């Protein structure tokens, strides 16, 4: 057996396909490039959830329902964000607030769970800084409202498009650890809130969705392009992994890395972020890829989604300790879609383990 369950097929899904050899991601029949070019968050939510609930689902009605749910959920923050909760890392505070949402398996539950982290994360971040949280605006798209609730300003078109591109890019990705966790919980019919809570708990680990914050630490540590090789060599000499590189499935460049690199360019080109950061990131990326090739010649280690995520979310004004929470905002729709697929078509997930411990002494 392989302890990471590599190559084990544990579910059949119509939701997404990750082709690690070709570096291709398909979400419900649409390639990632096409999806990012044509979709906002609400479009990909409609695509992923279509047919999984009784309701007819389209992007316009999702936008309206998400707006109303954001407004309704704001009272949860006001009621529950005490000092103990606010002392937690943002993703843990969001998880604690999510746990207050009633479990259910209907579309209304799905909408609440997609809206909740979009409201909770900006509110938690503001409260942690000592600022008052900003009420949601139901008339805005989910992305525009998240940025407005974060900064207090209506975002520019480039910023909203950048966050939409991010949320679309990370909306679903095969049977990754958090999605598997969501499906395991769904297979017990515990309800969608329970699935999302399990998934967010899996996501926060640094080997899954916790990497982009450390990517930014790495950029800051390197500081100047000319320091890249020496700094990275030193990190590798000390047994560290370079954050934003390597992937369990992709043996070539993660297609999401390029989708995000494309998405962040208009924000930097229009002077809304420091263009020097892109040049630094590109220099570090090139040095890291060269070093990883030298040190691990037999293991293709390429840029993954987290690398340009760090640059994009930083440019949009999210603090680095919040990046995992933003990932959760985007991936919740994928977790819900998988949970529903599992509930509708699957059985209780109950694999076997092989006992390798001691046997009872013979009498
Ligand atoms: N930097 C340096 N070395 C790395 C590396 C990285 N980012 N990723 C993998 N390696 C090395 C491992 O140390 C291991 O070397 P060894 O055989 O000498 O022990 C070898 O490559 C294989 O690694 P393995 O742990 O089998 O890969 P995996 O498939 O289990 O891990 C990741 C995939 C994503 C967990 C791993 O690449 C990683 O930790 N990346 C950094 C964190 C990150 O960016 N996470 C976000 C993922 S989207």
Give CA–CA dist 245/232, Å, rounded.
12
Tell the residue nearest (CA) to atom 24 of ligand 1: 248
Is 234 annotated as catalytic?
no
Residue 334: what pLDDT?
98
**Contact (CB, 8 A) for 171 and 44:** yes
Q: How far is the CA of 247 from the centre of ligand 1 (A)?
A: 7
Q: Is the pLDDT of residue 31 over 90?
A: yes
Residue 125: what pLDDT?
98
Helices (DSSP H) in 81-106: which residue ranges? 83-86, 90-98
Q: Is the pLDDT of residue 138 over 80?
A: yes
User: How confident is the model over 213-249, as pLDDT tens digits?
Assistant: 889 999 999 999 999 999 999 999 999 999 999 998 9
Is 247 annotated as catalytic?
yes
Start-to-end Cα distance in the chain:
32
Residue with token string 């650890």: 177
Residue 280: what pLDDT?
94
Q: By mean pLDDT, which of 90-94, 194-198, 343-347 is the weakest?
A: 343-347
Give the strand pairing for 30-31 and 24-27: antiparallel
247 lines ligand 1 (CB under 6 A): yes
Q: Is the pLDDT of residue 359 over 90?
A: yes
User: How much is the average pLDDT of 300-325?
Assistant: 94
Q: Which candidate in 247, 285, 302, 338 is catalytic?
A: 247
Nearest atom in ligand 1 to 248's CA: 29
- Of residues 209 and 226, more confidently modeled: 226
Give the strand pairing for 24-27 and 16-19: antiparallel
Q: By mean pLDDT, which of 131-140, 180-189, 212-221 is the weakest?
A: 212-221
Closest CA to 159 of 143, 170, 140: 143
Tell the residue nearest (CA) to atom 26 of ligand 1: 248
296 lines ligand 1 (CB under 6 A): yes
Domain ranges in the chain with CATH number 1.10.230.10: 213-315
Residue 273: what pLDDT?
84
Q: What is the CATH number of domain 213-315?
A: 1.10.230.10
User: How much is the average pLDDT of 346-361?
Assistant: 95
Mean predicted lDDT score pLDDT of the chain: 95
Nearest atom in ligand 1 to 246's CA: 37
Q: Does domain 29-208+320-345 have CATH number 2.40.160.20?
A: no
Angle between helices 90-98 and 59-80 (to 10 degrees): 100
Closest CA to 305 of 265, 273, 261, 346: 261
Nearest atom in ligand 1 to 307's CA: 44
147 lines ligand 1 (CB under 6 A): no
User: How much is the average pLDDT of 134-155?
Assistant: 97
Using pLDDT thresholds of 50, 70 and 90, give the confidence band for residue 105. Answer: very high
The phi and psi torsions of 125 (rounded to 5 degrees) equal: -65, -40
Q: How far is the CA of 29 from the centre of ligand 1 (A)?
A: 29
Q: By mean pLDDT, which of 44-53, 185-194, 266-275 is the weakest?
A: 266-275
Q: Is the pLDDT of residue 363 over 80?
A: no
Q: Is 352 helix (H, G, I), strand (E, B) or coil?
A: coil
**Whole-model pTM?**
0.93
What share of the chain has pLDDT > 90, as a percent?
88
Residue 297: what pLDDT?
95
Residue 48: what pLDDT?
98
Domain ranges in the chain with CATH number 1.10.580.10: 29-208+320-345
User: How much is the average pLDDT of 146-166?
Assistant: 97
Residue 168: what pLDDT?
98
Using pLDDT thresholds of 50, 70 and 90, give the confidence band for residue 269. Answer: confident
User: How confident is the model over 36-66, as pLDDT tens digits?
Assistant: 999 999 999 999 999 999 989 999 999 999 9
- 256-284 as b/e, with b when 16 or more CB fall inside 10 Å? bbbbbbebbebbbeeebbeeebbebbebb
Which of 246, 259, 285, 289 for mutating ligand 1's site (highest number of atoms within 8 Å of CB)? Answer: 246
Using pLDDT thresholds of 50, 70 and 90, give the confidence band for residue 194. Answer: very high
Contacts of range 224-227, beta carbons closer than 8 Å, 24 or more positions apart: 224/280, 225/279, 225/280, 225/283, 225/284, 226/283
């Amino acid at each position: 057996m392989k302890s990471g369950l590599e190559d084990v097929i544990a579910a059949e899904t119509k939701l997404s396909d990750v082709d690690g050899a070709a570096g291709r991601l398909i979400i419900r029949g649409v390639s990632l490039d096409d999806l990012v070019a044509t979709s906002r968050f609400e479009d990909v939510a409609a695509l992923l959830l279509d047919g999984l609930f009784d309701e007819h689902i389209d992007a316009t009605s999702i936008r309206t329902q998400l707006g109303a749910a954001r407004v309704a959920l704001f009272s949860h923050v006001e009621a529950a964000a005490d000092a103990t909760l606010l002392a937690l890392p943002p993703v843990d505070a969001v998880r604690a607030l999510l746990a207050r949402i009633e479990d259910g398996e209907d579309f209304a539950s799905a909408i609440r769970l997609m809206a909740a982290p979009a409201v909770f994360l900006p509110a938690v971040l503001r409260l942690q800084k000592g600022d008052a949280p900003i009420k949601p605006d139901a008339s805005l798209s989910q992305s525009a409202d998240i940025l407005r609730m974060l900064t207090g300003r209506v975002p520019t078109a480039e910023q909203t498009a950048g966050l939409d591109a991010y949320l679309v890019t990370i909306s679903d990705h095969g049977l990754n650890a958090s999605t598997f966790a969501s499906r395991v919980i769904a297979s017990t019919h515990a309800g969608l809130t329970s699935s999302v809570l399990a998934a967010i708990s899996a996501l926060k680990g640094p080997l899954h969705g916790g990497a982009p914050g450390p990517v930014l630490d790495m950029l800051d540590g390197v500081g100047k392009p000319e320091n890249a090789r020496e700094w990275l060599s030193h990190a590798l000499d000390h047994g560290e992994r370079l954050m934003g590189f390597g992937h369990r499935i992709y043996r070539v460049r993660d297609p999401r890395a390029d989708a995000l690199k494309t998405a962040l360019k208009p924000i930097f080109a229009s002077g809304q972020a420091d263009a020097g950061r892109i040049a630094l990131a590109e220099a570090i990326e090139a040095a890291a890829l060269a070093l990883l090739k030298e040190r691990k010649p037999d293991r293709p280690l390429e840029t993954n989604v987290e690398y340009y995520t760090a640059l994009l979310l930083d440019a949009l004004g999210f603090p680095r300790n919040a990046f995992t929470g933003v990932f959760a905002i985007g991936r919740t729709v994928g977790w819900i879609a998988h949970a529903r697929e599992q509930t509708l078509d699957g059985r209780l997930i109950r694999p076997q383990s092989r006992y390798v411990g001691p046997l009872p002494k013979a009498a």
